[in-house]
Amino acid sequence: MAAAAFFASVVSVRAVLLLCVAAAASAQLSATFYDASCPRALATIRSAVTAAVRRDPRMGASLLRLFFHDCFVQASLRFFLLSVGCDGSVLLADTANFTGEQGSFPNKGSLRGFDVVDSIKAQVEAVCPRTVSCADILAVAARDAAVTLGGSPYTVLLGRRDSTTASLSLANSDLPSTTANLSDLITGFARKGLSTTDMVALSGAHTIGQAQCTNFRSRLYGESNNLNAAALRATCPQSGGDGNLAPMDPATPTAFDKAFFTGLIQQRGLLHSDQQLFSGGATDALVRAYASNGGTFRTDFAAAMVRMGSIGVLTGNQGQVRVACSRVNS
Ligand code: HEM
Ligand SMILES: *[C@@H]1O[C@H](CO)[C@@H](O)[C@H](O)[C@H]1NC(C)=O
Ligand SMILES: *[C@@H]1O[C@H](CO)[C@@H](O)[C@H](O)[C@H]1NC(C)=O
């Protein structure tokens, strides 16, 4: 009895502390954080992202997704502040004595762009050593990637610090699955403090980038759909070819535009989870609004990115500024 009460109060104290830390932390992010300490940081990141996307247009999508997967893997109440949100944890590589998030089901064999982030970090370290966090680099790179491909510009709030930990189990549990239905998606984003509008707008990131056959095979063969079946079935046979790629917005695969939403109205969403956004439910109207007005989509996307970018950040003296994004400072 006493033990149970004690346990409950420890849990709630932790929960309260965590909420305070999260609230205080997001209040401390600032647009001008590096203005004095590293005035060249933003321009350095932008030119590196622009060059990387010019070399490989898909890299814009890959950088944007890295930021999402960083922010969505959040604090655990089981282990106090094990790992928080946009804290660069996704960038930590596995070593003999460290298991990070890169081997989780949603990430393994799928996330890309680590080499580009390492290279951006090296360029930023060259102008301002030990000053700019990997978590901030990812936040800025994601914005610049979207803008390079046609997204609306917005101001990124800065001052995140890097984690010294990562969580494989939370990467497995907290990242949304392609098998999710609409209510799963709404709930999953709500658990991160994001609204249904944020969820739909952020899902518009799939207007760029590609998915592997293994992630759309069951929709292609198992659901009645309007996918361009012949071409997709050649890419994605019923067995084999798991890693073969198809664009999630085949109309304009490297343009950050509203065509992804137009595709959903035509029942052409490649992922089951994407088509859920236009499947007779509460988000149909918003999908129609974005499909008819790309400006509204881009504005809502930018605002939602700012909100996603403040999930569970470390600030002040918490965490560290990693020297190399793939490993904790020794
Ligand atoms: C709503 C729930 C979401 C689900 C279920 C989901 C799932 C997926 C899946 C399965 C892929 C393909 C991975 C592969 O086959 O290798 C993918 C790719 C991608 N996702 Fe999501 N995603 C979601 C939301 C988001 C959000 C919120 C963003 C960013 C704001 C995002 C950005 C991307 C991008 C840009 C790609 C393409 C990456 C590339 O081509 O390298 N996704 N997503
Ligand atoms: C983990 O291994 C690295 C070398 O790979 C070593 O430098 C580091 O001290 C080890 N850390 C712990 C906590 O054992
Ligand atoms: C959505 O899927 C979850 C399981 O992931 C299930 O519990 C729930 O009943 C489903 N909701 C609807 C409306 O189909």
CB of 136 closer than 8 Å to CB of 203: no
* Residue 226 or residue 277, greater confidence: 277
Fold of the 202-301 domain: Peroxidase; domain 2 (1.10.420)
pLDDT confidence band for 59 (50 / 70 / 90):
very high
Instruction: Reply yes or no on whether the pLDDT at 4 is more than 70.
Output: no
- pLDDT category of residue 15 using cuts at 50, 70 and 90: very low
Q: Per residue in 209-259, pLDDT tens?
A: 999 999 999 999 999 888 888 999 999 999 999 999 999 999 999 999 999
> Among this protein's residues, is 272 annotated catalytic?
no
Percent of the chain with pLDDT over 90: 82
**What is the whole-number distance in angstroms between the Cα of residue 302 and the centre of ligand 2?**
40
Q: Per-residue pLDDT tens for 116-150?
A: 999 999 999 999 999 999 999 999 999 999 999 99
Nearest CA to ligand 1 atom 40: 209
Q: Could you give the percent of the chain with pLDDT greater than 70?
A: 89
Pair of tokens at residue 256 = 């950050």
Residues 236 and 246: their CA atoms lie apart, in Å, by: 9
* CA–CA separation, 216 and 236 (whole Å): 8
Q: What is the mean pLDDT of residues 41-49?
A: 98
Task: List where CATH 1.10.420.10 sits in the chain.
Answer: 202-301
**Which of these is catalytic: 25, 29, 68, 69?**
69
Question: pLDDT digits over 70-114, tens only?
Answer: 999 865 444 445 457 999 999 999 999 899 999 999 999 999 999
Judged by its nearest atom, the ligand closest to the C-alpha of residue 177 is 1
* Positions of CATH 1.10.520.10 in the chain: 10-176
For domain 10-176, give the CATH number: 1.10.520.10
Nearest CA to ligand 1 atom 36: 209
User: Is 317 a residue whose pLDDT tops 90?
Assistant: yes
pTM of the full predicted structure?
0.91
